[in-house]
Structure 1
Amino acid sequence: MTTVPAVPRADGVRASVPATAVVDGAQVRYWTYYPTPRLDGHSPVIVMVHGFRGTHQGLELIAGNLSEFQVVSPDLPGFGASPPMPGRKHDVAGYATVIAGLIRQLAVGPVVLLGHSFGSIVAARIAATEPSLVSSLILVNSLATPVPARGGPGRLGLRLASAYYRLAAAAPPRAGHVLLASKAFTLSMSAAMAVTRDRELRKDIHRRHLLHFSDFHNRQLLVEAFSEVGEAGVGDYAAGISMRTLLIAGERDRMAPPAGQRWLLPQLADGQLRTISGVGHLVHYEKPAAAAALIREFLASS
């Protein structure tokens, strides 16, 4: 692994130290947020896995509200600063293999593993298949199931998005990339996910999406990853998840509705569900402090 010193932030966001790990030939760029001094010195390390088309920046506000914990937040391969995985499909299995390898390299013992949206499926697979790496599991806006009748992504929205991605995949390379990275598409997705009535917060969410939503390396990996959104869910791995699990749902989440979380909860060996009111699929942007408070309470009761 290679690291560089922490870079001070002028915007008040918690400073972090970037580093690179090589896992099975894949370069994974990740950021470590070190804790403020604690008396006990036994705080668990939290590893955060971002959602589809996101980067580690998407979870930095939650990390900033958990300043007493060491947080490690990677860019999934093919997004942000992490290049695509050579010779491996960019799907849940591929991502889980690489993130599990990163956790081993960190050598910090079992970690608290947090996944948001698409990252919740990746985190669930790791928890189910390699439980020795995970002490507790936290799933934020989790994609419980791909089946709309059970609270998965809305049928119409999923069909429209699937058609758009198929069109982009079939188009010539340059045109396909333009379709997937267009400002109009980005803002339409941002507007669909943001439910806050705070104008300044909505502007900030749109700004963040314009900066990072199209920070992918090529359309092939993007289409590969998107196919998992409609075909996989946390429920696929629920039977194998043995550790304590916290589900954080958004009351107004249309992409991962609370009904899906309620369906998932009884399938977990030791799960609990907390719902944040007045928020949708962007808990990490709209109410990061509330999410951090629930995480802190959950870990304190471990």
Structure 2
Amino acid sequence: MTVHSPFASLLDELEITTDVVTVLGSETHYWVYGPEDAEVTIVVAHGYRGEHHGLEPVIAQFRGVRIIGPDMPGFGDSTPLTEVGHDIPGYAAWLGQFIEALGLTGRSIILGHSFGSIISTWGVANGLLSTEKLVLVNPIAASALEGPNAFLTRLTMAFYAFSMKLPRRTGEWMLRHWVIVQFMSSALTRTRDRELRRWIHDQHHTYFGNFADRETVVDAFNASVSMDISTVGANIDVPTLLIGAEHDSITSVAQLEELQAMMPNATLHVIPDVGHLIHYEKAHVAARYIVDFLGQGSVVDEPPIKA
């Protein structure tokens, strides 16, 4: 049974086109939202095991802003990388060359969510990405092995390692299994709105199994826990917006505050009563912070969602 998106009507108001470009061996599919002549363009790097749909609740809030959301290599409709590895340097190189292929180098704002926050900050710090401003939603401010739920992170690491020891079909079946996805979704979701919660679970079940193969998804997971923003934060001097969550199971508020203090030009907003799913549960709040930070575009009136 189809679960209705609470953001569908807002998204329907936007002009949306799709295209594909080959970058570092990956046939990268991407979606363009909003007017072509908008004053500002945002390029999105989504979270681990997600794809372009994940940030659509936030994208739906914007007006007068152009957003480009690619599926990362090996996820969604995009094929894996063949010229570099599925690690942080590889994904950062891909993002930089993707932006270059679209003729947007130095002309777009980069927005990284969760895993995408590590990729985008590593790329900026190492000269692979150029942006006047940087937006990070649910930023991974410190090692996940030191976060509020370090035990669950270590358990997940063991699970992924075990999946690689099984026969390929069995391992991939296990990685996509309904129970595994539901456990993850339940652990991350905090909203008390039953309909929104049901939709979030449906989104995870619909898209979190949409990866190319076992090797790619495991390599990307290992990359996601191999590094965090604190390793490069001091080297990022562009104005940076950090949008964190009060109850993020991966990064604590104290770790976010430490990251802000480390970065030369960072502003931090911590959204209360939400965890690692700001983009689903507090999309309107996040969009308003982003528009205020950029000083361009606008957001719609707040939709009737009890998050």
TM-score by length of 2: 0.89
How many angstroms apart in 2 are the aligned matches of 1:87 and 1:97?
10
In the alignment, is residue 260 of structure 1 matched against residue 255 of structure 2? yes
**RMSD over aligned Cα atoms:** 1.8
- Spell out the pairing of 1:242-261 with structure 2 (5 A cutoff): 242-261=237-256
In the alignment, is residue 129 of structure 1 matched against residue 126 of structure 2? yes
Q: 1:183 to 1:54 in 2, by over 3 A?
A: same
> Following TM superposition, by how much is the alpha carbon of 1:154 offset from its aligned partner in structure 2, in angstroms?
2.2
| Residue 291 (structure 1) aligns with | 286
Asked if 1 retains the 8 angstrom alpha-carbon contact of 2:240 and 2:265, the reply is: yes
| Residue 116 (structure 2) aligns with | 119
Give 3-state SS (helix, strand or coil) of 1:289's partner: helix
Instruction: Note the residue ranges of structure 1 that are not aligned, 5 or more in a row.
Output: 1-9
Asked if 1 retains the 8 angstrom alpha-carbon contact of 2:145 and 2:154, the reply is: no
Asked if 1 retains the 8 angstrom alpha-carbon contact of 2:123 and 2:129, the reply is: no
In the alignment, is residue 27 of structure 1 matched against residue 24 of structure 2? no
How many angstroms apart in 1 are the aligned matches of 2:39 and 2:88?
29
| Residue 97 (structure 1) aligns with | 93
Q: Which runs of 4+ in 1 moved over 4 A?
A: none
How many angstroms apart in 2 are the aligned matches of 1:200 and 1:132?
39
Counterpart of 1:211 (choices 200, 206, 210) is: 206
In the alignment, is residue 65 of structure 1 matched against residue 65 of structure 2? no
- 1:101 is aligned with what amino acid? Q
How many angstroms apart in 1 are the aligned matches of 2:153 and 2:209?
19
Asked if 2 retains the 8 angstrom alpha-carbon contact of 1:131 and 1:241, the reply is: no
| Residue 141 (structure 2) aligns with | 144
> Following TM superposition, by how much is the alpha carbon of 1:25 offset from its aligned partner in structure 2, in angstroms?
2.5
Say which is worse superposed, 18-27 or 261-270, in terms of deviation: 18-27
In the alignment, is residue 107 of structure 1 matched against residue 103 of structure 2? yes
1:37-67 CA-to-partner distances (Å, cap 9, x unmatched) read xxxx662210111000000100011111112
Say which is worse superposed, 252-261 or 211-220, in terms of deviation: 252-261
How many angstroms apart in 1 are the aligned matches of 2:30 and 2:20?
6
Count of residues paired in the alignment: 286
- 2:143 is aligned with what amino acid? P
Give 3-state SS (helix, strand or coil) of 1:101's partner: helix
| Residue 4 (structure 1) aligns with | none
Counterpart of 2:40 (choices 44, 47, 57) is: 44
- Spell out the pairing of 1:178-189 with structure 2 (5 A cutoff): 178-189=173-184
Determine which structure has greater relative contact order: mean sequence separation of CA pairs < 8 Å that are 6+ residues apart, divided by chain length: 2
How many angstroms apart in 1 are the aligned matches of 2:251 and 2:158?
20
Instruction: Note the residue ranges of structure 2 that are not aligned, 5 or more in a row.
Output: 1-6, 297-307
